[in-house]
Structure 1
Amino acid sequence: MRTDTANYTDIFLNDIPLMDVRAPVEFVRGAFPSARNHPLLDNHQRELIGTEYKNKGQQAAIDLGWRLATDEVRSLCLSQWSAFVRKHPQGYLYCFRGGLRSRMTQKLLRSNNIEYPIVEGGYKTMRQFLLNKLEKHCTQLPFIVVAGHTGSGKTELIQAARRYIDLEGIAKHRGSSFGRTSSSQPSQIDFENQISIDLLKLSQQTGAIAIEDESRLIGRCALPPVLQTAMKAAPRVLIEEPLETRAQRIVQDYVHEGLERFKSSEKSAAESLGEELHLNLNKISKRLGGLRYKQLNEALASANQELLRTNNSDVYIPIVVSLLREYYDGSYDHLMKKSEQKILYRGNYNEVQQWLKESNHSLQKPE
């Protein structure tokens, strides 16, 4: 018979399936990539039992829990849990601390002749394990920051490295005011957990880790401060691409892929994308200034109409060139001047791609 486990390293290195029996509200706030929520209590029941525990103590809360576990509730829970166990016989279950809810779930499963082990310490201890590992790995692992102006192709280039972590992929956002993707962003806790798990896996081998130069926020996801510190201390690879080339790449990424994202919308994809682009431009209106924002907004309206008529996305290139020249490049240049990071290599997209593929990057973490 399989026993309960406290081997968190094995769980996260091997993506062991986890059955999270916490209430849905807890799961949404933060969980783990391999976890699925099959709660013992719904949100309302959890609140009732919490109040009972606070007012009358643990035993009263347990008694209320069993009263709430009607035949109908038990049947539904057992059906979901049994299906999970059949699909993932090597998995584990957990609640917040690995206590009452985990034991109650085990007891109900045993009533159905199913033995399924618990993660000792539950969510709270696993979360702390990942936070501790994140601190350790950001301090000890060697990073190479891939830097360059907006539209340089940084995300694609880090993926050419032997070892990399894709922060924008984890955040499901491209980082700028125009960076929304077709997927919803994770919660802050889920974002941090995935970063920690990815670094845990990367720590099993030697060699530097390529990471894209990012500001503190990627959409609504904030980089953990310890990772920000590590990135500021890491050496850089600098991509130097012409303005026009970068504008073309941005149109490909944001307009072509944006149209795909809106294919199933009630309006036409071009109309829906156009509305989103206007909203995104408005987010930086104050930083552009009133007159420049008005001019760009009018140009954007014209480009949107042209896209509707002809499906020609090249009409956006002059607008992107203006945004890069007058806003994004200036902001990035200002940050670069303040940086004291060592530059390991600089070149255009193709040169950096080749360097990342061929270089050994056997860097040591700086003292």
Structure 2
Amino acid sequence: MTGSDKPSIDNLELIHGKYEVIDVRSPQEFTEFHYPGSINVPLFSNKERAEVGTAYKQESPDKAKEIGLKLFSEKLPVFYEAVHSLMKESPNPIVITCARGGMRSGAYVSLLNSLGFPVLQLEGGIRSLRQYVQGEIERLSTIDWKAVVVGGNTGTRKTIWLEKLDAEGYPVLNLEMLASHRGSIFGHIGMKKRSQKMFEWLLVEKMQQLESHSYLIMEAESKRIGPVIIPEWLQSVKESGRFIELEDTMESRVNYLLKEYEPELNEEAFAEALQKLTRLKPYTKEAVDQALLRNDYYTVFYRLLEEYYDPRYSHKPEDHIEKNNVLKLNISGMNEKEVLTSLKNKIHSAVRKE
């Protein structure tokens, strides 16, 4: 509770309690970062928010308030219905938040309280949650993490194996899942875009769950996964870990990529992504372009793996990892159960060497 006349809670009360959250920021603000599970009932649309900001800067604060009050009154019925429906659906208290816990959420909280709705305001707004995340990232960076790193050429199904290990209770940090991106130039296809801020929230949440474990399992990711950047200290954890390198046949890898990316169902996005591969050698680009015209995606992937991704992988930073920290695992010809059994054995062996 703050010193104002509006009932409120702080970010820790929200995180550790059971609340329903209504976020009144614009859709653009909400997409960039929001409290998981919250619903967006914006006071301003993206365009309206820009208009209010322009009026504040170019005319006066009073003019901006005048526009804001007009929009506030127009949207009250929609907001009232959202709160009323949420109260019927959930017994949990309702928290209203905006960017900084200021006028937008404050106006709604004051009005709803006067009407007998016991809603709360989040102190400091979404900004306070960002500050919490940043503080936790700093704290987590001080922990002496031990890692088992699963690597291998593109198409060796590293993420698939991590997902299955995670489902069995192994301490997996699946960075691609948190980033909502598969890491390659095609990694965004079929995935929902995730911002750096949302990635960091999910990263903190997951690593808090892994704190009690003596080690974590992660994939040999680059510093950047699509638009998302991995913290430098986490990269250091990866580089100092025990490394398991998966090997598989080219045929198996290509077939997996065909199944995973479904290029025939995402032709436009796939072709667009290929245009971003500006470092292809001329003969590779010509072969890939010709195969693409024939919808011969097997050849597209085969040539990309053989002439682009595999050579790049051989020059990744993992090369400087000491050889005694690398365990090889050839999974060609193995079924799923055999791969998982072999991978678990390698993980246990890597952990014993720590």
Question: What's the TM-score, normalizing by structure 2?
Answer: 0.80
Q: Which residue of 1 aligns with 2:121?
A: 118
Question: Does structure 1 residue 215 correspond to structure 2 residue 217?
Answer: no
Q: Which runs of 5+ in 1 are unaligned?
A: 263-271, 305-314
Aligned partner (choices 85, 99, 108) of residue 83 of structure 1? 85
Residue in structure 1 matched with residue 234 of structure 2 by the alignment: 227
Matched, 1:153 2:157: yes
Measured after TM superposition, the shift of residue 106 of structure 1 is: 1.0
- Match of residue 136, structure 2, among 133, 136, 139: 133
What aligned pairs does 1:138-217 form with structure 2 within 5 A after superposition? 138-140=141-143, 141-161=145-165, 162-203=170-211, 205-217=212-224
Cα pair 1:13 1:197 within 8 Å, conserved = no
Q: Alignment partner for residue 237 of structure 1, among 244, 249, 253?
A: 244
Question: In the alignment, which residue of structure 2 is the partner of 1:95?
Answer: 98
Unaligned runs of 5+ in 2: 2-6
- Give the CA deviation at 1:123: 0.7
Offset, 1:129: 0.7
Q: In the alignment, is the contact (CA less than 8 A) between 2:100 and 2:128 conserved in 1? A: yes
Answer whether contact 1:216 1:228 (CA < 8 A) is retained: yes
Partner of 1:329: 310
Confirm or deny: 8 A CA contact 1:207 1:361 kept in the other structure. Answer: no
* One-letter identity of the residue aligned with 2:285: Y
Query: What is the TM-score of this pair, normalised by structure 1?
Result: 0.77
Q: In the alignment, what sits opposite 2:341?
A: 354
CA distance in 1, matches of 2:157, 2:16: 30
Inter-CA distance 344–112: structure 2 relative to 1 (3 Å threshold): farther
Shift of 1:173: 2.3
Identical aligned residues as a percent = 28
Q: Please state how far the C-alpha of 1:236 moved relative to its aligned partner.
A: 1.9
SS at match of 1:279: helix
The DSSP-based 3-state class of the residue aligned with 1:109 is helix
Counterpart-to-counterpart distance in 2, 1:360 and 1:35: 40
| 1:160 counterpart SS class | helix
State the one-letter code of the partner of 1:209: L
Alpha-carbon offset, residue 11 of structure 1:
4.2
Q: Write the letter of the residue equivalent to 2:208.
A: L
Matched with 1:291 is 283
Greater mean alpha carbon deviation, residues 118-127 or residues 82-91? 82-91
Deviation of 1:65 after TM superposition, in Å, equals 4.4
Distance 1:68 1:212, change over 3 A: same
Which residue, out of 68, 76, 84, partners 1:74? 76
- Please tell me whether the aligned partners of residues 43 and 71 of structure 2 are also in contact (alpha carbons under 8 angstroms): no
Query: What value does the CA root-mean-square deviation take over the aligned residues?
Result: 3.3
- 2:9 corresponds, among 1, 5, 9, to 5
> 3-state SS of the aligned residue for 1:129?
helix
Classify 1:136/1:66 alpha carbon distance in 2 versus 1 (closer, same or farther; 3 Å): same
